[in-house]
Amino acid sequence: MGAELPPLVAAQHRAMPFTRLTDCGMDPADARRLLADTIAGIPWQDAAALVADVQLERARSAEAAGHSTTARQARRFASAALMFAQMAYQRDTPEKRELYARHTAATAALAPGVERVEVTHRGGVLGGWLCLPEDAPPRATVIVWGGLSGWGAAYLPIADAYTERGLACLLAEGPGQGESRLGHGLYVDERVTDGFARFVDLVEADPRLAGAIGVQGVSFGGLFAAHLAAVDPRVGAVVVNGAPAVPTIPEFRTAREQMAAVVGTDDLDRVTEVMDGLRFDPDKHHIGCPLLLLHGGRDPLARYEDQEPFLRAADPATSKVRIWPDGEHTLYNHAAERDALTGDWFSDLLAGRATPKR
């Protein structure tokens, strides 16, 4: 039996297992190398950045040889590795900002297939990545966002599943996420829903994106998606995946630091105040559009009873729940089936429907 891992390394391996690394787009070989290198004593951020450097050099060599498809694949793998590199830092340190900026640059190099989009909010800028179907105008648009640590382009594999089905996909970096937070100082507060609604505004303003709009929240972001669906009639369907309806301050220090960074303060009283203001109460909030709730039976972060209030807020006639008994958090270990299910569900509900106007 191997030696016990140092506490920090063990925590990183729990938070970022192989299934999560590959779910968010890392090359499986890179994911194995990252886990092995960190077991061997290389700091997580250094090991992940080295993996990215190798892929970026591979992309440059492929480009020089005229192999654009290989170059694009390598940049995708590098983007994913840099996403995980910045996760080594819970607080918004200069090192975290630099790694996320490198991730953003690697993702931007995927243009034109991945397009950077921005919208103003509270004196700052919210960013995201727009992915369009290749061969025809999109039949509808789905806006996808993450939670406390995985944002935006971490969900490019989800966008692939949706664009293959004729849907546009906007991978949002909302308040408290990505460049919106690290570059523009936009954080989560009791009115965070206003920020995510700006992405619906962005979709409505883009003439290429006619049709209905769906939203999908992954992990903690599912709470934001449910809140938006409850107040914005333009949302035609919503997926909630692995979210607590009643957010609480985590017990572990690193998780508390992560939540404090999302709110933008070290004042735990203020963090608690914000979390209390984001409680989703089915007696007060009603989701009028179809809801698909996803749950993994082995999810240590969101039990079924933590998510059940979202179902009680929705119409039983149009709501649906899908449970994988062996599913990990946000169903990392069932990624392909999960994305096929949600892609087909959004297609069935949204295609051919107009977007409700306010």
What domains sit in the chain, N to C, each tagged with a CATH number? 1-102 (no CATH), 111-350 (3.40.50.1820)
pLDDT for position 252: 72
Higher pLDDT, 324 or 253: 324
Does the N-terminal peptide bond of residue 112 adopt cis geometry, omega within 30 degrees of 0?
yes
DSSP 301: S
Alpha helices in the chain (DSSP H): 7-15, 18-23, 28-39, 44-64, 68-86, 94-108, 156-163, 178-182, 192-205, 221-231, 253-263, 268-277, 304-313, 335-350
pLDDT digits (tens, 9 = 90+) for 174-188: 999 999 999 999 999
pLDDT for position 249: 87
Does the pLDDT at position 3 exceed 80?
no
DSSP 5: P
pLDDT for position 256: 86
Does the pLDDT at position 84 exceed 60?
yes
Instruction: Please list, in sequence order, all residues whose beta carbon lies within 8 angstroms of the beta carbon of residue 279, skipping any fewer than 6 positions away.
Output: 245, 246, 247
**Comparing C-alpha atoms, which of 303, 147, 294, 129 is closest to residue 218?**
147
Average pLDDT over the chain reads 96
- Sign of the four-CA dihedral 51, 57, 61, 66: positive
Residue 1's pLDDT band, with cuts at 50, 70 and 90, is very low
Mean pLDDT of 163-184: 98
Mean pLDDT of 254-260: 87
Instruction: Please list, in sequence order, all residues whose beta carbon lies within 8 angstroms of the beta carbon of residue 358, skipping any fewer than 6 positions away.
Output: 232, 233, 234
Mean pLDDT of 91-112: 97
Does the pLDDT at position 110 exceed 70?
yes
Q: How far apart are CA 63 and CA 300, in angstroms?
A: 43
Residue 2's pLDDT band, with cuts at 50, 70 and 90, is low
Collapsing DSSP to helix, strand or coil, 56 comes out as: helix
Q: How far apart are CA 340 and CA 183, in angstroms?
A: 33
Q: What single string gives the DSSP state of each residue in 228-246?
A: HHHH-TTEEEEEEES--SS
The burial of 68, by beta-carbon neighbours within 10 Å (0-12 exposed, 13-18 middle, 19 or more buried), is given as: exposed
Instruction: Give ∠ CA 114-116-118 in degrees, rounded to 5.
Output: 150
Q: How far apart are CA 349 and CA 337, in angstroms?
A: 18
Mean pLDDT of 217-226: 98
pLDDT for position 251: 77
Q: How far apart are CA 90 and CA 194, in angstroms?
A: 25
Mean pLDDT of 270-298: 97
- Helix crossing, 28-39 with 7-15: angle to 10°? 160
Amino acid, single-letter form, for residue 64: A
Mean pLDDT of 11-26: 97
Which run of H or E residues covers position 321?
Answer: strand 319-324
Instruction: Give ∠ CA 214-271-23 in degrees, rounded to 5.
Output: 45
Instruction: Please list, in sequence order, all residues whose beta carbon lies within 8 angstroms of the beta carbon of residue 238, skipping any fewer than 6 positions away.
Output: 214, 215, 216, 217, 225, 226, 228, 229, 287, 289, 290, 291, 292
Q: Find out whether 100 and 86 touch, Cβ atoms under 8 Å.
A: yes
Above pLDDT 70, what percent of the chain?
A: 98
